[in-house]
Amino acid sequence: MVTIPPEPVPSGLTSKPPKIIGWQAAAGTCLRLTTPLTFCVNAAKLRTMDGSGPRTGVIFGQNAFLFGSRFSTSGLNEVKACEHVTATSVTQDEVSYTRTVNSTGVSKDSQASFNATRSLKKLFPIIVQLWMTAVLFVFIAVRILASGTVQNLLHRWIPR
């Protein structure tokens, strides 16, 4: 990994949250910010279009690079978090990481992190499916099967 010395980072970058122009973009697309952020590392604060939370990405100047399929640019608050990045919070590693991402598109760090959580993530769709099905099933059981009409029918078919 090539280490590049960090650019100077001004503290209190902007008084107002920067606004991103554009709405939706594919992975790796460059977005332009109306307010320049000189050096905001770990811009994993940009919200994805599907509301799935932060995506790994970086912001350079007025450009934002995100990794992921789709993302929304309406979450100004997330970009606002970049305001808190000051010179002290930018480490050498982060800078090199950022620059690596910028040059190659995929960092080794993010790949390792991805591998670690991949097995857990595989379970999520099953949990989500089970949860929603359970809510629906209980609703059907409680509101429909337990209703007077259905009970009367059941009693007719299955005499006590």
Partner 1 sequence: MLWLVLRALFGVVTLALAGFGCGAWIANYLPVTCNRIERLGISLLGGLGIFSLALFLIGQISFSRTIIVAAVSAAVLLSVRPLRRAWRNLSLIPQSISREAFIPCLIVLIVLVLTAVAGTAEITGGWDHDAIAYHLLGPSVWLREGAIRPVLDNSHTAFPQIPETLFAVLLALGGDRAPDFSSWLTLGLLQLISAGLAMRMGLNGSQGWWVAAIVASMPSVYAGSHNCFVDGLFAVFVLAAARIGFDAEGKKEWAIFGVFCGLVMGTKYTGLLAVPALAVCCAFVLLNRDHLKRAGEIRNLCVGLAVTAMVASPFYLRNWILLGCPIYPPPPGYASFCSPKYFPRQAIEQFHNYIYQRGAGLGRDWLAFLKLPYNVTYHTANFHGAGGIGLCPLALAPFGVVALRRDTFARALALFAVFLACIWFFTQQESRFLIHVYVVAAIFSVAGWGYVSARYGKLQRLTAAAVVGISVLYGLLMIIRSQTENLHAVVSPSFAQFRRAREIPYLASFDYLNSDPSVKKILILDRSVPPYYSRKPYVKPFGQWGELTLPQISNSLEPLRNVRELHVTHVLDVVSPVSGFQIDHPDSNLELVFQSEGQRIYRVD
Contact positions toward partner 1, by CB under 8 A?
12, 16, 45, 47-54, 69-70, 72, 74-78, 81, 83-84, 124-125, 128-129, 131-133, 135-136, 138-139, 142-143
Quick one: 141 or 154, whose CB is closer to partner 1?
A: 141
Contact by Cβ (8 Å): 31, 24: no
Quick one: 54 or 57, whose CB is closer to partner 1?
A: 54
CB of 154 to partner 1, least distance (A): 20
Distance CA 137, CA 129 (A): 12
Contact by Cβ (8 Å): 74, 32: no
Quick one: 86 or 103, whose CB is closer to partner 1?
A: 86
Type of residue at 76: L
CB of 76 to partner 1, least distance (A): 7
The tokens for 60 are 């350079």
Residues 6+ apart with CB under 8 A from 70: 24, 25, 26, 48, 49, 50
The tokens for 62 are 């007025």
Quick one: 106 or 140, whose CB is closer to partner 1?
A: 140
CB of 132 to partner 1, least distance (A): 5
CB of 119 to partner 1, least distance (A): 16
Quick one: 4 or 81, whose CB is closer to partner 1?
A: 81
Distance of CA 69 to the CA centre of its chain: 10
Per the DSSP assignment, residues forming a β-bridge with 65 are 30, 58
CB of 52 to partner 1, least distance (A): 5
